[in-house]
Structure formats: C-alpha cells, structure tokens
Structure 1
Amino acid sequence: MPLYKTITPNSQTTVKIWKITESFDDLMHGLALKPESLNRVLGMKSEMHQRGFLSVRHLLKAFGYEDSDLFYDDNGKPHLKDGKQISITHSFQFSAVIISEGIIGIDIEKQREKITVIAHKFIDYENQYLDKNADDYINKLSIIWCVKESLYKLFATPGLSFKQHCLVIPASDNEEETIAWIDYEDKKYRYNVQFLEFEGFTCAFAIA
C-alpha cells in the first residue's frame, strides 16, 4: 500500500505514515540502499522489522530523500545531511517519519492490553486523572506512552526518565492535542504534542 496519511501540523513540519502491506521483495524494489543499510536489513532476524526498516526508506523517498541522506549519531538519533530535523518510528504494520525545521519526536504503538502491566514504570503524575476501570484506559495509556516516547526522542538526553522527568497534561474530550512537560535538572520544558488513533494504533508527535 502506498502512503497511508500525511499531516502538516505547521508550515515547517510534515508527518507521513505508511501502512506496511507489501512483501519484503516489493519493498526492496526501487530502493537504493547504502552498503551499511543493506547489511543491516539483511541481518535482521524478523521480517516484520525488515519491512519496517524498508518502509521508512520509502517514506524518505516520499519526502524527496534517499537512504544516503540519512545518518545516525552515536546515541542512535537520526539526522539528515541537509540539516533538517527528522524522527522515525515503526510498530508492526505502520511506520512514520516526521521532518521539520524545528526539533521534533514521533512514536507509533499498537494498542495492547499488556501496556497495563508496565504502566507503573512510566506513569506518575498522570495517575491523578487516569481511571483504571474506564473503557478507554488502554487507549489513554497508549497516548501517554507515545507522547513520552516522542519527548524522549526529541530531548535526546541519556538518563531521561519517562516516569520521573516527563508528564502529560490530560487532553480534553474529542481533542487530539495536549501539552507535555519535561522537568529535568531543575529546568522545565513545555511542548505541544499532537496525537491520533487509527486501526488499533496510536501515534504522537512532539514539536519544540
């Protein structure tokens, strides 16, 4: 399947989401991969991970980039050679890329009941407004996880804790945006975060 969704949150930022329905061979077709990228994808044990990796390269093409335009720093953060900011994510059959002039982060997660088991590891302030018995508890946990993961990617600081340093303000009903904060080393940073839900998945992206 081609591009699933394109979102333009502001004039400097674009999000593209891909639904991965193609086979590995179909996704390989038409891509020019760097030798290290080819070695990396061929070395992956999971075909799902391989297809996720390749779908990201197709998203790069949709933005007008090639695999050779992308590189990673020592912390694993992706960068583009032209200096624009990029963040990448994939989960099962969806992948997404956000590119902006500003600092950004993005995450996609499948909504699964198992998130309730690990909630205590990333939820603190949010317990004040979460209802564990609500029908949408898993959805709200998934939103909070995605928001915090997008903040983590945006902030790119080793040692940042989802539970201790990141907090997510509750979104109003029927709203798909919220405010999130990073409280780190006596400094507070405020971010606007947008999120969306589709086909049992949650995606959030933070913009500095």
Structure 2
Amino acid sequence: MAIAYRQRIDDDTEFALWRIEEEATNLYNQLQLNQEEKDFVESLSNGKRHLHWLGTRVLLRKMLRTDEYIDCKVDEHGKPYLVNLPYHISLSHSYDYAAVMISKTHKVGIDIEQIKQKVERIAGKFMRPEELAFIGEKQKIEQLYVCWCAKEAIYKCNGQKEVSFADNIFLEPFEFEHHGVVDARLHKKDTVIDYSVGYLQYENYMVGYVKG
C-alpha cells in the first residue's frame, strides 16, 4: 500500500489518494487506537467498509507524519475533526481507494467516486435544470461525476446537515477537463459562500476537493 497521488494546494493544505492493497490486519497494525476505536473496528464486518475505515486512518497518519496517537472524532454533523492536532481534515473512500485532505488554516472537503454509468440515472436528484443544461455529450458521465464530487466536497467542507445538493449548492457552467476547477456557491437561508472546487480524474475515479 502506498500513496498513489499527492497534491499540495498551498503551504498549509494538501490531499492524497491511497490505493488499498493490504489485508485489514496489516492496516490495523499500523494504527494506534483507543479501546472505543478498537471496539468500533471489531463491530465492522470484514469487507470494504472495514478496509475503508482502516485505510483512511492509515493515510491520515502518513499525511500528518506522526507515529503518535491521533485522536480523530466525529461531530454531531458527522464531520471528522482532530482533538490533539491543529489540522482541519476530510476523509473519503471508494472501492480500492482512500482519500484524505488536510489543512492547518482552512476547512476542507474531499470526495472520491468510482466512475460508473449509473450516475446519469440519478443526475436529476442532485442537479438543477440549468446545471444539467451545460453537461456535454462527449464526456457526459465524467462531467456528471465532477458535479457530484464538487457538491459532496462543498457539503463536507461546510460540515452542516440539511443541505440539499440541488437546492443549496449551485455550480457555474464549465467544460470538462481531466484536471480542472469549478466555481460554485452554497446558498442556505441568509448564508452565501463562494467556492472554487478543484477536480481530478485519476484512472477510473473522480476526485473533488475544496478549501473553505
């Protein structure tokens, strides 16, 4: 298991992708866990969810460059945070990959998804008609995944529940590239926040990443 891709956004912010190739026992042995975390891991059935939880934590440890215990909690909205280290973090996983984004100075959000045809069937559930209108035919599936990953990354960065991808997160028109940026905004009640969301196609996966 090794870091497959790493990108620095600025002096304080970076993300990485990790291809999960080890057995769960190998990953487990690379971590320091308290009893509550050990109990949680034992409650997971052996399978992808088990590997994903372990894989994201191992990658987080690699990125933080520490062998010490990492106290990683989840708040009431489901957003992970570090108790004992001065970093904002975001975690994601899909099939064989884990993704982690960290920053000392900004809230962050990252999402990784394996590219599949099924996204076309559900596009109307997370996109507005004016967003669907700018999707091209040539690389339609890839562009739809950019939209999903961008909105998911913003959702994670914002860290609040009750945010609708279709009703609260708006994307500006863009042309698909394998590595690009989408301008977006979150609009909820009296709050409007502008974002520039980066995206990357890595093999048959799409990654969206953003800092607040």
What's the CA shift string for 1:169-191, capped at 9, x where partnerless? 23345351121111111432101
Unpaired runs of 5+ residues, structure 1, are none
Alignment of 1:72-111 (within 5 A): 72-81=74-83, 82-100=85-103, 101-111=105-115
State how far apart, in whole Å, the 1-side matches of 2:33 and 2:114 are: 28
Q: Paired residue for 2:135?
A: 130
Identity %: 28
Q: Conserved in 2, the CA contact under 8 Å of 1:28 and 1:54?
A: yes
Q: TM-score, normalised by structure 2?
A: 0.91
Structure 1 residue ranges (4+ consecutive) displaced by more than 4 angstroms after TM superposition = none
Q: Paired residue for 1:191?
A: 195
Q: Conserved in 2, the CA contact under 8 Å of 1:168 and 1:178?
A: yes
Alignment of 1:6-45 (within 5 A): 6-45=6-45
Q: Across the two proteins, how many residue pairs are aligned to each other?
A: 206
Q: TM-score, normalised by structure 1?
A: 0.92
Q: What is the RMSD computed on CA atoms of the aligned residues?
A: 1.6
Residue 30 of structure 1: CA displacement?
2.4
What's the CA shift string for 1:56-106, capped at 9, x where partnerless? 111122122455321111221111123321111011111111111201111
State how far apart, in whole Å, the 2-side matches of 1:73 and 1:35 are: 19
Q: Paired residue for 2:157?
A: 154
State how far apart, in whole Å, the 2-side matches of 1:172 and 1:129 are: 8
Unpaired runs of 5+ residues, structure 2, are none
What's the CA shift string for 1:22-48, capped at 9, x where partnerless? 111221222222222222222122511
Amino acid of the structure 2 residue aligned with 1:159: E
SS of residue matched to 1:68: coil
State how far apart, in whole Å, the 2-side matches of 1:29 and 1:68 are: 14
State how far apart, in whole Å, the 1-side matches of 2:99 and 2:32 are: 19
